[in-house]
Amino acid sequence: MIFSDLKQWEREQTVYPEAITKGLQYIRSTDFSELPLGKHEIDGELMFALLQEPLTQGWERQRPESHRTYTDIQLLLSGEELIRVVPLSEEAVISEESFDTRDIAFYSKVGAESDLVLKPGLFAVFYPGDIHRPCCSVGQDQKIRKVVIKVHKSLLGL
């Protein structure tokens, strides 16, 4: 997992994997206010962006999730979002698994989670297996705008 902001990325980009850098360069060069919500191709099914406007909710109402095929680069564009994170461990219990059709598994039980608070310009990178609980409220529920870049594991040598 990586947690940073676009300002830091300018200094850090040389240590990031090439595919993560490509995804962040796409973010830097794209005016998301001009794009409709939904899927936007970057490199076919190997890398694409999902522009979303979800409503945040209390963390206990959101389900922890992980992916097997894609790494997420999640950047907040507006609002405020809490994402709870925890490494995959033997404590994790999958309650719903759709890796083959939707590349996602949800968990009924995970280990002790840590909190990341995203504000506009902050991003997190979740590799396959990193359990994350996105779209949690900070204070009160609110509509947020975010972009999620999906990076296929083959681009990362995974």
Q: Mean of the pLDDT values across residues 20-35? A: 94
DSSP 35: S
pLDDT at residue 12 is higher than 90: no
- Confidence at residue 54, expressed as pLDDT on a 0 to 100 scale: 98
pTM passes above 0.75: yes
% of the chain beyond a pLDDT of 90 = 89
In the β-sheet with 93-98, what is the strand arrangement from edge to edge?
Answer: 93-98, 104-109, 65-66, 131-136, 81-86, 114-118
CB atoms near residue 154 (< 10 Å): 10
pLDDT score of 49:
98
How far is residue 10's CA from residue 15's CA, in Å, rounded to a whole number? 11
> What pLDDT does residue 14 have?
83
Mean pLDDT value across residues 80-101: 95
Report the C-alpha gap between 116 and 125 in whole angstroms. 12
CB 67 within 8 Å of CB 126 = yes
Q: 9 pLDDT exceeds 90?
A: no
- Which residues, in sequence order, are CB contacts of 95 under 8 Å at separation 6+? 63, 106, 107, 108
Mean per-residue pLDDT of the chain? 95
pLDDT at 107: 96
pLDDT at 61: 96
Using CA atoms, how far apart are residues 50 and 66, in angstroms rounded to an integer?
A: 16
Q: What is the pLDDT, as a whole number, of residue 24? A: 95
Q: What is the pLDDT of residue 151?
A: 98
